[in-house]
Amino acid sequence: MAYPDVFEKLVSLAKRRGFIFQSSEIYGGTGSVWDYGPLGVELKNNVKARWWNAMVRQRDDVEGLDAAILMHPKVWEASGHVAGFSDPMIDCKTCKARFRADQLQGAPCPRKPSKHPGEHADCLLTEPRQFNLMFKTFMGPVEDSASVVYLRPETAQGIFVNFLNVQQATRQKVPFGIAQIGKAFRNEITPGNFTFRTREFEQMEMQFFVEPGSDMEWFERWKAARLEWHYALGLAPDRLQFHQHGETELAHYARAAFDIEFDFGGTLGFQEIEGVHNRSDFDLSQHQTVSGKRLEYVDQAANKRYLPYVIETSVGADRVTLAILVNAYREETVPGEEEGRTVMGLHPTLAPITTGVFPLTKKDGMPEKAEKLAAELRKEFPVFYDDAGAIGRRYRRQDEAGTPFGITIDQNTMANDTVTIRTRDDMQQIQLPITQVADRIRAYLRSDVSTAEVKHFSPV
Ligand code: GAP
């Protein structure tokens, strides 16, 4: 099935509802940098918590880490980023625009967009030149070459240089992994597609250290585990696929690599959201050579020492959050209503707000009862209390926010302590004793399916 391009509508909804704003918007924006609003930060935090839970908390063979963004500049020499983390660029001397050499044929000429760079008679293109993607800054008061530091372009190196610290502190034995979530920065030449490719983003990376020879077996295991994780977020299975890197695509450190791709719809189609890489002993061996410190693992039981191979799983928190938003966006007609509705069909466990609480009217003791229920539920779930406007409008506002449940306090609540609970996906409304609301929401959140598929709400 061909998925439509929803980017334009999504960018507008994301701003209107407070998922994502353009950075420094009042100054005209910063190139490809985005801010997460009240709903967006909750959604992204839920994604990161899901990853941390699956990769660290649920496993006894992976440890957590939070390494600093600024690292010793030698790290980036050893890792190969100073020499090799670059794109070949071509400049136009006439209009001063810069293009990626490998994307020239897809780029419009700024002076005549119907032509490609180089096709206009006045175009004067340079030969391709390497342009390093790392952001440079200076540490300390003096701005000279001795004080240059880089904003990390990947979080992985913080893990490699801490490999022995973590192993010795935790007494883990190979095979084991180290995981972290953190910001990374790349001076991308062709950023774009909303938060898909940005210059500041967050990565969730895990390096799994294994004995050489067992690496391809672990590579396959991690590939399978990571794909499962994306399914569990509610991404449609037919929108996910693997893409194997051919010889020419492999990064400088990779022995083998697969991307997990998501179908973003329209012309963008399938694009990488996660990389699973076999980095061999490339990084540890480089750091051992450049630092002069032995980084070998000592296997006392087998009486041998070696540099472990590394299987890396690397997923962008922003990119997977974007995939979740694209996957969730839908417009529907509503039987009996002229206006359709826009729904963010987010998985209930990821939704920024779990339930809305709505007093039907602002009188007859309904607000007091509703506030009491909201306060009780808030101890466990994110709750949005809304008493403004017609109830239908309040439902629609929460549909757009992706809120899976809505609880209405009405005349029945006042008469017999039952509430109406509405599920976002099928818009079914049923009555339930107020005392059972928290249990039912808990049951929903435990089940791994969309609200429309949950049939266990029985009317009282
Ligand atoms: N340590 C390996 C590494 O960084 P990568 O394939 O360059 O590998 C991994 O990046 C993931 O980080 C990508 O799959 C993507 O989700 C995310 N990512 C990379 N560059 C990005 C950018 N400019 N904007 C947003 N996310 C990005």
Question: Domain with 392 in it: what CATH number?
Answer: 3.40.50.800
Cβ-based neighbours of 86, under 8 Å, separated by 6 or more:
130, 131, 132, 133
Residue nearest to atom 19 of ligand 1 (CA): 316
Residue nearest to atom 20 of ligand 1 (CA): 197
Same domain? 419 vs 294: no
The residue among 172, 225, 164, 222 whose CA lies nearest residue 62 is 172
Residue 276 in domain:
yes
CA distance 195 to 36: 10
Q: State in Å: Cα 230 to ligand 1 middle.
A: 16
Residue 2 in domain:
no
CA distance 65 to 162: 9
29: left (phi > 0), else alpha (psi -120 to 50), else beta?
A: left
What torsion do the CA atoms of 10, 14, 17, 21 make, to the nearest 10 degrees? -150
**Per-residue pLDDT, 88:** 87
Same domain? 152 vs 43: yes
Concatenated DSSP letters for 92-136? BTTT--EEEGGGGGGSPPSS-TTS-TT-STT--BPPPEEEE--EE
Residue 334 in domain:
no
410 CB under 6 A from ligand 1? no
**Per-residue pLDDT, 146:** 87
Residue 381 in domain:
yes
CA distance 345 to 399: 8
Q: Which amino acid is at 318?
A: D
Same domain? 251 vs 347: no
**Per-residue pLDDT, 136:** 96
Q: What is the CATH number of the domain that holds 301?
A: 3.30.930.10
**Per-residue pLDDT, 451:** 45
Same domain? 66 vs 204: yes
Mean pLDDT per 10-residue run, the chain (460 residues)? 94 98 94 95 98 96 98 96 89 87 84 87 89 95 92 98 98 98 93 92 98 97 96 94 93 92 96 98 98 97 97 98 98 89 95 98 96 98 96 96 97 96 93 95 72 36
Q: Give the HSE-up count for residue 70: Cα atoms under 13 Å, Cβ half-sphere.
A: 8
266: left (phi > 0), else alpha (psi -120 to 50), else beta?
A: left
Same domain? 46 vs 106: no
Same domain? 12 vs 151: yes
Residue 280 in domain:
yes
Q: Which amino acid is at 68?
A: A
Here the tokens at position 456 are 């266990």
Boundary of a domain, candidates 291, 326, 361:
326
Residue nearest to atom 6 of ligand 1 (CA): 275
Same domain? 124 vs 249: no
Give the nearest ligand 1 atom to 196 CA: 25
318 CB under 6 A from ligand 1? yes
Q: State in Å: Cα 274 to ligand 1 middle.
A: 7
Cβ-based neighbours of 96, under 8 Å, separated by 6 or more:
none
Phi, psi (rounded to 5 degrees) for 419:
-120, 165
- How many independent structural domains does the chain possess? 3
**Per-residue pLDDT, 186:** 97
273 CB under 6 A from ligand 1? yes
Residue nearest to atom 5 of ligand 1 (CA): 275
315 CB under 6 A from ligand 1? yes
Q: State in Å: Cα 315 to ligand 1 middle.
A: 7
In tens, the pLDDT along 100-145 reads 888 888 888 888 888 899 888 888 899 998 889 999 999 999 998 8
Residue 454 in domain:
no
Q: Which amino acid is at 36?
A: Y
Same domain? 95 vs 230: no
Own/partner long-range contacts of 13-19 (Cβ < 8 Å, ≥24 apart):
13/329, 13/342, 13/344, 13/400, 14/40, 14/194, 14/325, 16/400, 17/400, 17/401, 19/43, 19/325
186 CB under 6 A from ligand 1? yes
**Per-residue pLDDT, 203:** 98
276 CB under 6 A from ligand 1? no
Boundary of a domain, candidates 326, 356, 391:
326
Residue for token digits 């957590």?
A: 64
Residue 457 in domain:
no
**Per-residue pLDDT, 328:** 97
In tens, the pLDDT along 383-424 reads 999 999 999 999 999 999 999 999 999 999 999 999 999 999
159 CB under 6 A from ligand 1? no
Q: State in Å: Cα 113 to ligand 1 middle.
A: 29
The residue among 118, 125, 213, 122 whose CA lies nearest residue 174 is 213
Same domain? 24 vs 167: yes
Q: Give the HSE-up count for residue 117: Cα atoms under 13 Å, Cβ half-sphere.
A: 24
Cβ-based neighbours of 439, under 8 Å, separated by 6 or more:
none
**Per-residue pLDDT, 447:** 62
154 CB under 6 A from ligand 1? yes
**Per-residue pLDDT, 227:** 96
**Per-residue pLDDT, 452:** 43
Same domain? 217 vs 320: yes
202 CB under 6 A from ligand 1? no
The residue among 342, 357, 348, 377 whose CA lies nearest residue 17 is 342
Same domain? 65 vs 103: no
Residue 459 in domain:
no
Same domain? 116 vs 181: no
Q: State in Å: Cα 219 to ligand 1 middle.
A: 18
203 CB under 6 A from ligand 1? yes
Whether the bond into 382 is cis, omega within 30 of 0: no
Percentage of the chain lying above the pLDDT 70 cut: 97
Q: State in Å: Cα 257 to ligand 1 middle.
A: 13
Range of 125's domain? 86-132
Output the pTM of the full model. 0.93
Give the nearest ligand 1 atom to 199 CA: 23
Q: State in Å: Cα 416 to ligand 1 middle.
A: 55
Boundary of a domain, candidates 66, 98, 132:
132
**Per-residue pLDDT, 104:** 85
